[in-house]
Amino acid sequence: MSPDIPTYAPSDEHEMLRATVRELAEAKIAPYAAQVDEESRFPQEALDALVQNDLHAVHIPEAYGGAGADALATVIVIEEVARVCASSSLIPAVNKLGTVPVLLAGSEELKKKYLTPVARGEAMFSYALSEPEAGSDAASMKTRAVRDGDHWVLNGTKMWITNAGVSQYYTVMAVTDPSAGARGISAFVVEKDDEGVSFGAKERKLGIKGSPTRQVILDNVRIPADRIIGAEGTGFKTALTTLDHTRITIAAQAIGIAQGALDFALGYVKERKQFGKAIAEFQGVQFMLADMAMRLEGARQLTYHAAIKSERAMNGESVPDLTFVSSACKCLASDVAMDITTDAVQLLGGYGYTREFPVERMMRDAKITQIYEGTNQIQRMVMARQLLK
């Protein structure tokens, strides 16, 4: 390509990464996906394969032992893993979600201490913002952190925490100044083994059954003062900035799920015969497939566009529309994923409704992408607020 023609398309290196991850996912992750879903168990095989190939947390900078991959590379990893197993794709996705606050606002000492073991695959990192009474209205959280000399003491319950109990580290948002509203919230690193940390029962979910979702319960958890992420009172701002970057990973998960469903449906309609010919020859089916692929590609391109803006922002550039495009890609990709997986089930007919084929699992998995990291109703509010500024 001529150097004077601008592009934001994936580079040759990105496409080589995609091929590598796809081959790994099909060989080492896909064979266990149905079993992981059926048994609602953590996909240990996926974690082992991703760690062995340095694909579990590719976003961590080289300075802390990571691959230093850019945001688009991270999106591609998540997309390709989600194509075969949505639960497994939450390993790289949630490692990014948990660590971005540390990358954005943590001290250098905190980064070295906690990013390095994650980069080595020795630990996973989760993110604890929501509470039983504070979901979309996260600023109404009740978890408290009280300063006591050289320590902070945390009390409260966090809800809907992805990979809780498996992750070693947690970014926890807590109120340090109850009189200051959102400006009274601070962020901390809590370790699984800290005294007073426990976990609720695993939620029984519609989809992503292989990724444990549990409460994180903090009962007089005493942590060193230097485990605060950034300055006191900046936690909520860090949380919102984090989501500007990590909503894009949920879009990646959604397009991966959708691609998996489309790929399976394409194979099926070419083989399935009715009225003496493959159902792929019927125009009604062809129009469904064309719409599925068209909308998926639109969502993918918006997601890649947002990923490149995220990378620029992480590198210190001013990107005023990052909040809008990250909400837009998450909202669009998840809505598209729900539609495509539902259509894939329809294309398989009665077979699509059975567990013998993967598209019903993909449809169940896709639903959560419209809900977590901000419901799509919240995303529309965020986008409208950006437009009306």
Candidate list 80, 131, 360, 373, residue with the active-site label: 373
Q: How far apart are CA 239 and CA 217, in angstroms?
A: 20
Nearest to 106 by CA among 115, 96, 95: 115
- What pLDDT score was predicted for residue 2? 46
pLDDT of residue 192: 98
Tokens representing 309 are: 């803006």
In angstroms, the CA 156 to CA 141 distance is: 9
Question: Is 3's pLDDT higher than 60?
Answer: no
End-to-end CA distance of the chain: 38
With cut-offs at 50, 70 and 90, classify the pLDDT of residue 9. Answer: confident
φ, ψ for residue 86 (rounded to 5)?
Answer: -65, -40
Instruction: Report how far residue 23's alpha carbon sits from residue 17's, in angstroms, rounded to the nearest whole number.
Output: 10
Element holding 221 (H helix, E strand): strand 213-224
Paired residues of 218 in beta bridges: 156, 197
Using the CB atoms, write b or e for 233-245: b if 16+ within 10 Å: bbbbbbbebbbbb
CATH number of 125-233: 2.40.110.10
Whether residue 6 has pLDDT greater than 70: no
Q: Among this protein's residues, is 297 annotated catalytic? A: no
Q: What are the residues facing 187 on neighbouring strands?
A: 173, 229
Looking at residue 4, its pLDDT comes to 58
Average pLDDT over residues 315-327: 97
- Helices 235-271, 283-314: crossing angle, 10 deg rounding: 150
12-119 is classed CATH 1.10.540.10? yes
Tens digits of residue pLDDT in 68-91: 999 999 999 999 999 999 999 999
- Domain boundaries defined on the chain: 12-119, 125-233, 236-387
Q: Fold for domain 236-387?
A: Butyryl-CoA Dehydrogenase, subunit A; domain 3 (1.20.140)
- 309 close to 371: Cβ distance less than 8 angstroms: no
pLDDT digits (tens, 9 = 90+) for 337-386: 999 999 999 999 999 999 999 999 999 999 999 999 999 999 999 999 99
In contact, 214 and 294? CB cutoff 8 Å: no
C-alpha–C-alpha distance, residues 373 and 329, integer Å: 12
Note whether 334 and 376 are within 8 A (CB). Answer: yes
C-alpha angle with apex 29: 27 to 31, nearest 5 degrees?
75
Tens digit of each residue's pLDDT (9 = 90 or more) over 154-206? 999 999 999 999 999 999 999 999 999 999 999 999 999 999 999 999 999 99
Q: Is the pLDDT confidence value at 219 over 80?
A: yes
Question: pLDDT tens digits for 11-34?
Answer: 999 999 999 999 999 999 999 999
pLDDT in tens, 253-290: 999 999 999 999 999 999 999 999 999 999 999 999 99
Element (H, E) at 30: helix 30-39
Q: What is the mean pLDDT of residues 58-71?
A: 98
For residue 77, give every residue at least 6 positions away whose Cβ sits within 8 Å of its Cβ, in sequence order, or none.
17, 21, 55, 58, 69, 92
Answer yes or no: is pLDDT of 138 > 60. Answer: yes
pLDDT of residue 79: 98
